[in-house]
Chain A
Amino acid sequence: MLSKKNMFSRRALLKTTLGGVFLAPFLRQRALEAAPVLPKRLVLVFTPDSHPREWWPTMGGTYGFTLQEPLADFVGLEQYMQFVQRIDHSWTFDNHHEAGVAQLFTGQRFFDDATHYANGPSIDQILLKETEIRGGTPIASMHVCAGDSGGGDKRHVSSYSGPGQPIAHQADPARVFTDIFNGVTFGGTTPTPTPTPTPTTDINTLIAQRTLEVNMDEIRRIQTFLGQEERERLQIHLDSLAELEMQVDGTVTQPPATVGGTCEKVDTSGVNRSDRNDVSIDKWAKVQADLIVNAFTCDRTRVADFGMGFSGSHHTGMMGLVAGDNNSWHDTVAHLSVSNTSRTSNVQVNGAQMTVTEAFIKFDRLWAGQVAYLARKLSMIAEGDGTMLDNTLIYWGVESGTDHNHSPRDMQYLLIGGKNMGFKAGQYLKLPQTESAHKLHTSVMHGLGYTAATGFGIEPTCGPLAGVLV
Chain B
Amino acid sequence: MKRRQLEIWQLGGLLGLLSACTANIETGPQTQVTPPATGGASASGGTAGAGATGGTVPGSGGSVTAGSAGTGGTATGGSAGTGGAGGSMPTPDPEGNVPYTPPAPGAEALRARTWKLTHAQYAKTVQALLGVAVDTSDLEPDLDNGVYPNMSGSHFVRVPLATGYFRKAETLSSALTTAQLTALVPGGALTAASRDTFLASIIEKAFRRPATAEELTAYGGLFDLGASEGDPVLGFRAVVRGLLTSPNFLYRTEIGSDPAVADFTLTGHEVASLLSYSLLDGPPSAALLALAAGTELTQSATLGTQVAALVNQPEATAQLAAFMSAWLQVYLFDAEEVNKDETRFPTFLSIKQAMKDETVSFLAQYGGPTGTIPALLTTPVPMPTGPLGTFYTSEPSGSAGGVRTGVLALGTLLSVRAKPTSSSPTLRGKFVRDRFLCQQIHLPDDVVPDISETQMTLMPKTTRELYEFHASQPACAGCHTLLDGVGFAFEDLDAAGRFRTVENGVTIDTSGHLYETDVNRPLANHTDLANALAQSEWTRECVATQAFRFYFGVVEADRGIPPVQAARLSVATGAFRDMVVAVMSSPSTYHRVRN
A residues whose Cβ falls under 8 Å from a Cβ of B: 87-96, 99, 109-117, 139-140, 151-154, 161, 164-168, 170, 179, 203, 206-208, 210-211, 214-215, 217-219, 221-222, 224-230, 233-234, 236-237, 240-241, 243-244, 274-276, 314, 316-317, 324-328, 331, 335-336, 338-340, 342, 344-345, 405-409, 422, 433-436, 438-439, 446-447, 449, 451-452, 455, 459, 461-464, 466, 469-470
Known contacts A112-B31, A326-B419; is-contact A338 B341 (Cβ 8 Å):
no
CA distance A116 to B147 in the complex (A): 10
Max chain B C-beta neighbours (<10 A), residue from A91, A274, A342: A91
Nearest-neighbor residue (CB-CB) of B250 within chain A:
A237
Comparing B65-73, B277-285, B579-587, the segment that makes contact with chain A is: B65-73
* A466 contact from B10, B22, B28, B142, Cβ within 8 A: B10
Which residues of chain A are near B440, meaning CB under 8 Å? Answer: 113
CA distance A409 to B456 in the complex (A): 26
Contact yes or no, B114 A222, CB < 8 A: yes
Interface residues of B in 249-281 (CB under 8 A from A): 251, 253, 255-256, 259
Known contacts A93-B28, A342-B453; is-contact A327 B112 (Cβ 8 Å):
no
CA distance A240 to B33 in the complex (A): 35
Contact yes or no, B25 A317, CB < 8 A: no
* A339 contact from B157, B248, B452, Cβ within 8 A: B452
Say if the beta carbon of B47 comes within 8 Å of chain A.
Answer: no
Contact yes or no, B247 A240, CB < 8 A: no
Contact yes or no, A110 B30, CB < 8 A: yes
A-B contact pairs, 11 of them (CB 8 A): A111-B83, A114-B555, A207-B238, A210-B221, A275-B336, A316-B337, A326-B420, A438-B21, A439-B18, A439-B21, A464-B9
CA distance A133 to B327 in the complex (A): 43
Say if the beta carbon of B325 comes within 8 Å of chain A.
Answer: no
Which residues of chain A are near B242, meaning CB under 8 Å? Answer: 207, 210-211, 214-215
Which residues of chain B are near A116, meaning CB under 8 Å? Answer: 146
Nearest-neighbor residue (CB-CB) of A438 within chain B:
B21
Contact yes or no, B25 A446, CB < 8 A: no
Say if the beta carbon of B154 comes within 8 Å of chain A.
Answer: yes
Additional 11 contacts, C-beta under 8 A, given A113-B85, A451-B6:
A87-B23, A115-B147, A214-B219, A230-B111, A326-B420, A406-B447, A406-B448, A407-B448, A409-B25, A434-B22, A462-B20
Nearest-neighbor residue (CB-CB) of A150 within chain B:
B141
Contact yes or no, A435 B248, CB < 8 A: no
Say if the beta carbon of B299 comes within 8 Å of chain A.
Answer: no
CB distance from A108 to the nearest CB of B (A): 9
Known contacts A314-B337, A327-B421, A459-B21; is-contact A91 B2 (Cβ 8 Å):
no
* B453 contact from A113, A207, A340, Cβ within 8 A: A340
Contact yes or no, A230 B112, CB < 8 A: yes
Contact yes or no, A237 B247, CB < 8 A: yes
CB distance from A156 to the nearest CB of B (A): 10
CA distance A217 to B248 in the complex (A): 11
Contact yes or no, A463 B21, CB < 8 A: yes
CB distance from A341 to the nearest CB of B (A): 9
* B23 contact from A88, A152, A203, A327, Cβ within 8 A: A88
Contact yes or no, A210 B222, CB < 8 A: yes
Max chain A C-beta neighbours (<10 A), residue from B23, B26, B455: B23
CA distance A112 to B455 in the complex (A): 35
Known contacts A91-B30, A203-B228; is-contact A164 B71 (Cβ 8 Å):
yes
Contact yes or no, B446 A407, CB < 8 A: yes
* B442 contact from A88, A94, A225, Cβ within 8 A: A94
* B2 contact from A139, A316, A451, Cβ within 8 A: A451
* B114 contact from A114, A230, A241, A338, Cβ within 8 A: A230
* B70 contact from A99, A112, A236, A469, Cβ within 8 A: A112
Known contacts A207-B241, A230-B113; is-contact A153 B451 (Cβ 8 Å):
no
B residues whose Cβ falls under 8 Å from a Cβ of A: 1-3, 5-6, 9-10, 14, 17-18, 20-33, 68-72, 80, 82-83, 85-86, 111-114, 141-147, 153-154, 156-163, 166, 169-170, 214-215, 218-219, 221-222, 225-226, 228-229, 234, 238, 241-242, 245-248, 251, 253, 255-256, 259, 336-337, 341, 419-422, 440, 442-443, 445-453, 455-456, 459, 463, 466, 555, 594-595
A interface secondary structure, majority: loop
CA distance A452 to B449 in the complex (A): 42
CA distance A240 to B215 in the complex (A): 22
* A152 contact from B9, B143, B160, Cβ within 8 A: B143
Contact yes or no, B222 A211, CB < 8 A: yes
CA distance A382 to B1 in the complex (A): 26
Which residues of chain B are near A90, meaning CB under 8 Å? Answer: 23-26
Nearest-neighbor residue (CB-CB) of A213 within chain B:
B218
Contact yes or no, A233 B114, CB < 8 A: yes
CA distance A206 to B10 in the complex (A): 54
Which residues of chain A are near B159, meaning CB under 8 Å? Answer: 139-140, 240, 243-244
Contact yes or no, A324 B113, CB < 8 A: no
Contact yes or no, B255 A435, CB < 8 A: no
Contact yes or no, B255 A222, CB < 8 A: yes
Contact yes or no, B162 A210, CB < 8 A: no
Contact yes or no, B26 A94, CB < 8 A: no
Contact yes or no, B23 A93, CB < 8 A: no
Which residues of chain A are near B166, meaning CB under 8 Å? Answer: 208, 244
Nearest-neighbor residue (CB-CB) of A324 within chain B:
B459
CA distance A89 to B84 in the complex (A): 26
CB distance from A178 to the nearest CB of B (A): 9
Contact yes or no, B147 A114, CB < 8 A: yes
Which residues of chain A are near B113, meaning CB under 8 Å? Answer: 226, 230
Nearest-neighbor residue (CB-CB) of B18 within chain A:
A463
CB distance from B344 to the nearest CB of A (A): 10
The 3 closest A-B pairs by CB, nearest first: A152-B143, A462-B21, A88-B23
Which residues of chain A are near B161, meaning CB under 8 Å? Answer: 240
Contact yes or no, B255 A226, CB < 8 A: yes
Contact yes or no, A237 B555, CB < 8 A: no
Known contacts A179-B160, A225-B112, A466-B10; is-contact A94 B1 (Cβ 8 Å):
no
Known contacts A316-B420, A340-B451, A455-B21; is-contact A113 B27 (Cβ 8 Å):
no
CA distance A392 to B87 in the complex (A): 47
CB distance from A205 to the nearest CB of B (A): 11
CA distance A151 to B334 in the complex (A): 15
Contact yes or no, A92 B218, CB < 8 A: no
